[in-house]
Amino acid sequence: MTDGDTTEQGAAETGARSQRPSSKAFRDFVASGWAERPGTLPATAAGARHAVARRERLSARFPADRLVVPAGGLQVRSNDTDHRYRPHTAFAYLTGLGGDTEPDCVLVLEPVEGGHEAVLFFRPRAGRDTEEFYADARYGELWVGTRQSLAEVSAETGLPARHLDELGDALVKDLGATTVRVVRDADPRTTAHLDRARSADGLDLDVATASDDALADAVSALRCVKDAWEVEQLREAVESTARGFADVVAALPRAAEHARGERVIESVFAARAREEGNGVGYEVIAAAGDHACTLHWIRNDGRVPADALVLVDAGVEVDSLYTADVTRTLPVSGRFSPAQRQVYTAVLDAADAAFAATRPGATIREVHEAAMAVIADRLAAWGLLPVSPEESLDTATGGQHRRWMVHGTSHHLGLDVHDCARLARETYQGQALEPGMVFTIEPGLYFRADDLLVPEELRGIGVRIEDDVLVTADGAENLSAMLPREPDAVQEWMAGLRA
C-alpha cells in the first residue's frame, strides 16, 4: 500500500517516511494540465426523494428544535489506514445517501416557520492548486478519488449544501434560545463541539444528553415501518443473498476438502455481496458441525466435514445500505442424516408456527411464543425436558427449553441488520405489527457436542432457519421464499446446483 502522510491519526507514524514533493516547481506543475470537469449535475437520487417524507415526520416530532444528524467520520483500522466507510444509519435514512457518502457530512434540520429547513454540511473537493489535492492521503483527490462539489451534492440530495467549515457556527447559533439535539454516537467530534458550547452557555449536560437520546430514539422508531422504496431495496438484498447461497452450495465440495472450509464459504458469499452490492450486511457466519452451536460464530476457521451440517447466516447489503439476513442449515453431503433431519424438521415446524402467528395486530412476542411452543413440545417428546412443555413455557417459573435456544425468534430488519434497536425492550417486543414492517423469523436448536443432557446422536448438531418477513395487510410475505426450506426441497435444490 502506498505511503500517506497527512492523516491526523497517522501523522506521527508517517512523517519519518514521507516522500512528498514540496518544491514550488512541483506545486505549479501538478496544478496544471488537467481537463475541465464535466459541467452536468447528477440527477436526484431515488433514496433522496423518499427521504423527504421521513424528514417531515421527524420534523413534526420536534417542531422548534435544531436537529443535527452527522454521517460520521472515517475510523482507523490500523496506523494510517481506515476501515471501509459506512455512514451512520440515521444519516442514511434521513438523506437517502448510501455507501458512497463522503465522510464527515452533517445534516442539520433548522427550525423555520411551518417545519424545518434541511441543510447538508459537506466537505467539497479541493482545487487542483491546493496541497490537499495531491498530498492529503485521507481526503486528497489523487489518493481517494474525486469528491463532489457543493452544487453536485446538492443536486443529488435535493438539499441546499454548505461548506463543512461553516458547521461549527451553525450548530451553536442562538444556543441559549434554541434546543439543539444531536445523534450523539454518530460523530464524537460534532457532539464534543456542541457539548463544549452547551457548557460554556451554562446548559445542563445531563438534560441535553437526554434530549439528544430522544432524537436518536425517534429516528429508530420511524424506521419500524418501511415505505415502498425501502421494501424494494430489501427485496433486492434478499434476491442477491439467495444467489450468494447458491454460490455457497456449489462451493461445498471445495470447502469440504479445505483445511479452513468455513472460510471458503465465507469468502464465496462475500464475493457475491461485493460484486452485487455494498458488501455483507454483517460478518458471515459459516459454522460447520459443533460450531453451529455457537450463535455468533464468525471465526470461520474450521473444517467442513462431509457428514456434517453447515449453518450459514449471511446477508447482502445493497448500495443503499439495506441488508438481508438469511440463515440456511445445509447438509454438506447434500442429504440429511436421520438425526439431522429430526432436528431440522423441529426447527422448521417452529418457524412455520411463527409465520402463522404473523399478522397485523400481533406482536413480536407472540410470534416468538408460537415458535417456542413447538420447540418445547418437541424437546419434551424427545425426553429432554425435566418438566412438561407447559411448565417450561411459563416465563416466571420455567424456561428449561431455552437451554437449547437462548436467542429470540425475531428482530426488525432494514438499514441495520438489527434495525430499530433503540426501542425500549417492552416496546420492541410488544408493539403491534403493522403492514410495512420487515423482520426475521429464525428459530433454532443447538445441541453442543459436550451437552450430556441430549442423546449422543444429537450432539454437535446446530440448526437455524431464518427468513425475512414483510407484514402485509392480511398476514405475512416471506421475502426469502426463493430459498427452499423443506428438507426434501433443500436436498433437491442442492443436487441441482451440483449437477
Are both 240 and 208 inside the same structural domain? no
Residue 1 in domain: no
Domain C-terminal end among 173, 190, 222: 222
Q: Phi/psi class of residue 361: alpha, beta or left (left: φ > 0; alpha: ψ in -120 to 50)?
A: left
Same domain, 39 and 111: yes
Same domain, 246 and 317: yes
Same domain, residue pair 200 and 345: no
| Per-residue cell: 189 | 467530534
Among 176, 193, 222, identify where a domain stops.
222
Place of cell 414483510: 470
Give strand ranges (E) for 123-250.
161-163, 180-182
C-alpha to C-alpha distance for 370 and 350, rounded to whole angstroms: 7
Amino acid at 350: A
- pLDDT, residue 438, reads 98
pLDDT tens track, the chain, 499 positions: 556 544 444 444 445 556 778 899 999 999 999 999 998 999 999 999 999 999 999 999 999 999 999 999 999 999 888 999 999 999 999 999 987 788 999 999 999 999 999 999 999 999 999 999 999 998 999 999 999 999 999 999 999 999 999 999 999 999 989 999 999 999 999 999 999 999 999 999 999 999 999 999 999 999 999 999 999 999 999 999 999 999 999 999 999 999 999 999 999 999 999 999 999 999 999 999 999 999 999 999 999 999 999 999 999 999 999 999 999 999 999 999 999 999 999 999 999 999 999 999 999 999 999 999 999 999 999 999 999 999 999 999 999 999 999 999 999 999 999 999 999 999 999 999 999 999 999 999 999 999 999 999 999 999 999 999 999 999 999 999 999 999 999 999 999 998 7
In a domain, 5, yes or no: no
Q: Are residues 151 and 243 in the same domain?
A: no
Give CA–CA dist 264/254, Å, rounded.
Answer: 8
Same domain, 216 and 279: no
- Backbone φ and ψ for 141, nearest 5 degrees, come out as -65, -35
Torsion over CA: 148, 152, 155, 159 (sign): positive
Same domain, yes or no, for 356 and 465?
yes
Task: Count the neighbouring beta carbons within 10 Å of the beta carbon of residue 398.
Answer: 18
Q: Is 2 a member of any domain?
A: no
Report the C-alpha gap between 314 and 56 in whole angstroms: 34
Same domain, 385 and 416: yes
For residue 59, CA distances in Å to 16, 114, 117, 180, 229 come to: 50, 10, 9, 13, 21
Strands 106-112 and 81-82: unpaired
- Domain-located, residue 422: yes
- Predicted confidence at residue 333, as pLDDT, reads 98
Torsion-angle region of 303 (φ positive above 0: left; ψ -120 to 50: alpha; else: beta): beta
Q: What is the pLDDT of residue 7?
A: 42
Asked if residue 332 is part of any domain, the answer here is yes
User: Which of 171, 193, 222 is the last residue before a domain boundary?
Assistant: 222
| Contacts of 31 by beta carbon, 8 Å cutoff, 6+ apart | 128, 129, 133
For residue 251, give the CATH number of its domain. Answer: 3.90.230.10
Judge whether 186 and 69 are in contact, CB under 8 Å: yes
* Rounded distance between C-alpha atoms, residue 364 and residue 354, angstroms: 9
Q: Which domain holds residue 260?
A: 228-498
| 348 and 265 inside one domain | yes
Q: What is the model's pLDDT at position 2? A: 57
Residues 440 and 463 occupy one common structural domain = yes
How many domains is the chain partitioned into structurally?
2
| CATH code for the domain of 20 | 3.40.350.10
Residue 82 lies in a domain: yes
- Residues 113, 235: one domain? no
Is 6 part of a structural domain of the chain? Answer: no
Q: In what order do the strands lie in the sheet with 326-331?
A: 285-288, 309-314, 326-331
Which cell goes with 8? 491526523
- The answer to whether residues 66 and 188 belong to one domain is yes
Residue 23 in any domain: the answer is: yes
